[in-house]
Amino acid sequence: MRLATWNINSIRARADRALAFLEREDIDVLALQETKCKDAQFPREAFEAAGYEIATFGFSQWNGVAILSRVGLDDVEPGFLEQPQFGEVPAVEARALGATCGGVRVWSLYVPHGRALDNPHYAYKLAWLERLRQHAVDWVAADPAAKVALVGDWNVAPRDTDVWDMAVFEGQTHVSEPERAAFAAFADAGYTEVSREFIPDERKYTYWDYQQLRFPKNEGLRIDFAYTSPALTPLVRGVTIDRDERKGKGASDHVPVILEIDDSQVSA
């Protein structure tokens, strides 16, 4: 099974690129973030014609997550239990979507940005990550054989070398110690961030801002990750970061991260 995660930064603007990626990389399951559309606006027909079932969770032109699968799509869950809320009228944002695909419980995650260290969105981000971690622990405690993949845009750069210049990010979100601790807590809970296992090299980024020629200068961030549960981790055979997807006209500012999973043992 080939499972990919990608912050698409508007599925309606990049449906053609997504379809080309699915075909080129022979993707079985694609977790999308920042779809930026209501459920009814998702361009389903083209993906269904390509053989994919689709689950979406989106309310507006902000946020939004989706899962596309050609190996089954069951037990769809928009948001996780007691997911923290945000806004002037507090509400659950479209930032998490779970579904079982070919025996793997996939969660497409768009972790809150945080905005600034003194912004309420920062406290919301930390609460959001902690509540997700609690569930991640519970899922494995309830079923040690559960094969769970927590994939998406985590909006955290866990190491100094995950940003192109730490001096630029000093005192900002993504690199603060509380955020990094919240990210590391998933490893403490028994999950493995498998992209680091297979791509330990530094300066392997997944995001480059559109401004100031960040991509040509390789001034990026590594903020898109895949945490796998103890039962799934041994089945991951490889991980790639599709850097070339950032090239060309109309690219997202993020690139896909692709997991190769030995599905012959997924149901074992």
User: Mind telling me the catalytic residues?
Assistant: 110, 153, 254
With 0-12 / 13-18 / 19 or more C-beta atoms within 10 angstroms meaning exposed / middle / buried, residue 144 is exposed
The beta strand positions in 8-161, using DSSP E, are 29-33, 53-57, 65-69, 74-78, 96-101, 104-110, 148-153
Residue indicated by tokens 């999973």 = 261
The neighbouring-strand residues paired with 244 are none
- On whether 153 is known to bind a ligand per the annotation, the reply is yes
- On whether 121 is known to bind a ligand per the annotation, the reply is no
- On whether 155 is known to bind a ligand per the annotation, the reply is yes
- On whether 244 is known to bind a ligand per the annotation, the reply is no
Angstrom CA distances, 114 to 8, 123, 254, stand at 20, 7, 18
Contacts of 199 (CB under 8 A, 6+ apart): 239, 240, 241
Annotated binding-site members:
7, 34, 153, 155, 253-254
Annotated binding-site residues for Mg(2+) read 7, 34, 153, 155, 253-254
